[in-house]
Amino acid sequence: MSTAVSRGTTPVPPARRPRLTVLSGPSGVGKSTVVAHMRKAHPEVWLSVSCTTRKPRPGEREGVQYFFVDDTEFDKLVANGELLEWAEFAGNRYGTPRQAVLDRLEAGEPVLLEIDLQGARQVRASMEDAQLVFLAPPSWDELVRRLTGRGTESPEVIERRLAAARTELAAESEFDTTLVNTSVEDVARELLALLR
């Protein structure tokens, strides 16, 4: 009786497709700063580029900061289900093109979305396997300091942002993971580990 012997052919598990990672949190918590810091060291992490109905600001380039579309084009994207999520903010609409995200994930690339709470909820509804990461401030007082310390907004705008931040902080339990932004370097490293 002979016994079959395998010679160094250990089965290789199939490559795991990366999950979409969504970073959200209240205004002023430092989402953009953390993402910029991480992508400076790791440009291979793909940050989805949103489309928007707002006009380009000086220095912004089509397809880099945003894809700039008019209201009619945006309506078509929504009607055809071409946006993974979308929201209206300050009279303009913003949305994440679905196909670009799916293409990158299919290619095995880590994909990151930096969006608001409303968008994160829409992503969760349409992509259950997405990983939702909540970026929290070290404390409420620190968040207030960051929002008021910018010195670029009126008291009314700051009050609206603080009211929105209270709502966003209350939704933390809807997320898979919470990172506390005490250090940009540390949080960027933790976020990168989650993406991988």
Residues in the annotated binding site: 25-32
> How far is Cα 55 from Cα 152, in angstroms, rounded to an integer?
20
> How far is Cα 105 from Cα 84, in angstroms, rounded to an integer?
14
Phi/psi at 46 (nearest 5 deg)?
Answer: -90, 120
Residue in 194, 189, 143, 196 with CA at minimum distance from that of residue 40: 189
- What is the DSSP code (8-state) at residue 66? B
Binding site feature residues for ATP: 25-32
> How far is Cα 166 from Cα 161, in angstroms, rounded to an integer?
9
